[in-house]
Amino acid sequence: MGDAVENFARVCPERRFVAFPPDIKTSVALRDRMNAAGFSCIHIDGGTPKEERRELMREFRAGEVQGLTSVNIAIEGLDVPDVSAVVFMRPTKSERIWVQAAGRGLRSSEGKSDCVILDHAGTLMQFGPAEDFVPPALHSNEGKKTTGKDAKKREKKIIICERELEDGLPCGAALIGTHICPECGHVHHFEAIPDHAVVIPGQLEELTAEGRRQHAYQLEEKRRWYAELLGYCANRGKSPGQAFYLYQEKFGEKPGGWQKSSKPMQPSAEVLGFVKARNIAYARRMEAQKVKHAAD
């Protein structure tokens, strides 16, 4: 979501950065566009000759260039403490990759107080802030790398059905390892994956840890949320009780006595986004349980 160069120029043009595009073609194009916009930038990938890669990394570490864009090289092990911006463009189902990529900008350095993460892949909604990551227990298999056939067996694609229903809103159901929506029955036909990223126009908005944690919903906001959750459930043919549990999941408390007088409202993008993220998380938990039971 959003143009990487335009958003970088608007949000943090003075910062040193590392960028993680989804593929080599996009990475090379990002390097060229960054340079054209006045931000000195280099590109490396697995095919970059060792001597060339070594020289490019020396330039970057020495501060001779402002930014580095990389594919499958700099996610692990890169230690350049004065990097204070991360441009994340790579869709991933791996929380480990998200946390390690964000970590390239979280190294402490003299005069550095924070790090800006420009998330163009919606990963923050999927996994939450990288600083909130809790490492899996040492005895757990969670987080361990899998390769080859084992990885293919465990990894199932999770898709959110975007089919527009009669109410004009997307279905929002989660599909796991299937192309048929379990809610609306829509059959999804997927095009071949392109060899470069497709940019969806948009402007990133700031989300700070302080704002996320300190925001206190007022009663009117909570009532609006409950009414919109009722509207969501009504549109999907679900019982009002589902809205009750969604509200409780969102706010960690039950609705007040005003619940009985609440009338369904058309759900906003904010509420639909919450339900979508919740559906994805639920689908992942169910898939993890299946994998665990299969292993047992």
pLDDT recorded at residue 226? 94
pLDDT recorded at residue 201? 61
Residue 211 CA to residue 201 CA, distance in Å, equals 25
Confidence of residue 266 (pLDDT cuts 50, 70, 90): very high
Mean pLDDT of the chain: 79
Is the pLDDT reported for residue 148 higher than 60? no
Span 106-127, pLDDT tens digits: 888 888 888 898 988 878 777 7
Confidence of residue 153 (pLDDT cuts 50, 70, 90): very low
The number of angstroms, rounded, from the C-alpha of 2 to the middle of its chain's C-alpha atoms is: 13
Q: Residue 235: beta bridge partners?
A: none
Residue 201: count of CB within 10 angstroms of its CB: 8
Is the pLDDT reported for residue 134 higher than 70? no
Nearest to 18 by CA among 112, 133, 100: 100
Lowest mean pLDDT segment, chosen from 188-197, 217-226, 272-281: 188-197
Q: Residue 176: beta bridge partners?
A: 158
Confidence of residue 142 (pLDDT cuts 50, 70, 90): very low
Residue that wins the pLDDT comparison between 182 and 195: 182
Find the mean pLDDT for residues 133-145: 52
Find the mean pLDDT for residues 6-20: 91
Torsion angle, alpha carbons of 48, 53, 57, 59, to 10: -110
pLDDT recorded at residue 242? 92
Confidence of residue 152 (pLDDT cuts 50, 70, 90): very low
pLDDT recorded at residue 181? 80
Residue that wins the pLDDT comparison between 54 and 152: 54
Find the mean pLDDT for residues 151-171: 63
